[in-house]
Amino acid sequence: MKLLRYGPSGQEKPGCLDADGRVRDLSGHIDDLAGEALTPETISRLKSLDIEELPLVEGTPQEDLRLGPCVGRTGKFICIGLNYADHAAESGLDVPPEPVIFNKWTSAITGPDDDVIIPRGSKKTDWEVELGVVIGKGGAYIDEADAMEHVAGFCVVNDVSEREYQIERAGTWDKGKGCDSFGPIGPWLVTPDEAGDHDALSLWLEVDGKRHQNGSTSTMVYKVPHLIAYCSQFMSLQPGDIISTGTPPGVGMGLSPQVYLKGGETLRLGIDGLGVQTQKVRRAD
């Protein structure tokens, strides 16, 4: 099932995609695609609905119908760094002996096609296509063997990053990761039964039509079940939390010479079966 949120920013309604690529409204069954609506019990109930009987929403998604972030009221936006060996190499860093955890602030979350805003004073705003894992069943100290039972679905994430803020200024990576608009998610939340093999998904990113990233989740160092179990050792996970699992090579920082966003570019990125994002890049007012 492809679940989504549609409508103006801050006024999104829950919906799903039908077999013809049209949006059907789920407002009569859940108030938002958030919290308890993401639990296994609710997802199972939504799957039992006859989608063709749901109200049809006017417009074409991602054309004249805006899609919002595919998950609402996210509590934690957890990110994993250096989780592809070849990306670690292009960054001049070793593969970490344990997953590297950092955070994006939830105020960074935007819709899949909303503008990416370069912060005031930024010199090194960069891109990162990533597989996002959305938690549906909460828990702490989750066993790796049981981890996939806690997944509501998967989505595309653009882990937009300001490298000077992240690396060259005092403190942790977080200050370069959580600026406003630095967390586009969606277009839809795809349930595991429709997402395909999460260990073998192609993911890519283009800037103004030039492909920079072209990878596969098959080369992730730490796989999805391990990441869920690992994160749950340090914090409880709740429905709606997002784990962004790292990026393949091809980021601007890893190019020679390095390339960073200046404003005016168009980003397109996607993951097999999970949809495509398109963002205009502009500088902050």
Least confident of 80-89, 208-217, 236-245: 80-89
> Is residue 93 situated within a structural domain?
yes
> Is residue 192 situated within a structural domain?
yes
pLDDT tens-digit series, residues 143-172: 999 999 999 999 999 999 999 999 999 888
Here the CATH number for the domain that contains residue 185 is 3.90.850.10
> Is residue 24 situated within a structural domain?
no
pLDDT at 221: 95
Q: Could you tell me which of 12, 109, 127, 106 has the C-alpha nearest to residue 61?
A: 12
Domain carrying residue 229? 71-283
> Is residue 135 situated within a structural domain?
yes
pLDDT at 88 over 90: no
CA separation for the pair 253, 219 (Å, rounded): 20
Q: Could you tell me which of 62, 50, 59 has the C-alpha nearest to residue 26?
A: 50
> Is residue 1 situated within a structural domain?
no
CA separation for the pair 179, 252 (Å, rounded): 18
pLDDT tens-digit series, residues 100-149: 999 999 999 999 999 999 999 999 999 999 999 999 999 999 999 999 99
> Is residue 262 situated within a structural domain?
yes
Query: What percentage of the chain reaches a pLDDT higher than 90?
Result: 94
pLDDT at 55 over 90: yes
- pTM for this predicted structure: 0.97
Q: Could you tell me which of 274, 280, 230, 283 has the C-alpha nearest to residue 130?
A: 274
Instruction: Report the domain count for the chain.
Output: 1
pLDDT at 73 over 90: yes
> Is residue 223 situated within a structural domain?
yes
CA separation for the pair 181, 270 (Å, rounded): 17
CA distances from 90 to 86, 93, 176, 251 (A): 6, 8, 19, 9
> Is residue 191 situated within a structural domain?
yes
CA separation for the pair 102, 276 (Å, rounded): 25
